[in-house]
Chains A and B, each alone.
Chain A
């Protein structure tokens, strides 16, 4: 079956522009995560949804970052007034269950954001 898909795969933005990154999770998956992966680093947690509810946004680095999942399926990560330090790969992951310690997360290929 289809895995997690993300679009666009690559995005170049000028500093100060707003961007929107889309994630299509595996159909029927309850949990959805966003991670940020800076160059040469491991992914870092940004936010977590259980269906349409955003239960954890502790990793969002500033109020310029906003995520939503209005119908409990597709999610969008929006970054306002992008800065150079926002340049990273943004990974989306989904999981079939509602957030247990041992859940397997299925990752998408990521969106590489470059802010000039």
Chain B
């Protein structure tokens, strides 16, 4: 069965610093991986997704993620954090048993951005 693990429930960075949010996956088949962001009192919004077309995936708001099969990782990065990036970030994998597009989420990482 597919699953994802997010290391670090809270990450704090200074404005302008590199953002690195970690996600490792477990899958017996090639995974399809997603990063979603959740702002307070809002629904989840897709940042980017890996569909096997390219290992480096660029998303919205300057975020990108690199699929590394050898490390079973799909870490999310942004070169320079902005105050508006403060939110909860979820890594997810699709293709669990049953419905192909059903998403299995990690427990989330709350990103804090300080001045």
Contacts and interface: CB of A to CB of B under 8 A. Distances in A.
Which applies to chain B's interface (DSSP): helix, strand, loop or mixed?
A: loop
Which applies to chain A's interface (DSSP): helix, strand, loop or mixed?
A: loop
A99 B107 contact: no
Interface residues of A, number: 30
A18 interface: no
A56 B98 contact: yes
A35 B96 CA distance: 14
Interface string A79-116: 00000000000010101000111111111111000000
Of the four ranges (under 10, 10 to 19, 20 to 34, 35 or more), the interface on chain B belongs to: 20 to 34
Contacts of A99: 99-101
Given A91-B43, A102-B51, A109-B43, A48 B106 contact: no
Interface of B: 9, 32, 36, 41-46, 49, 51, 90, 92, 94-96, 98-108
Interface of A: 3-4, 31, 33, 35, 40-45, 48, 55-56, 58, 91, 93, 95, 99-110
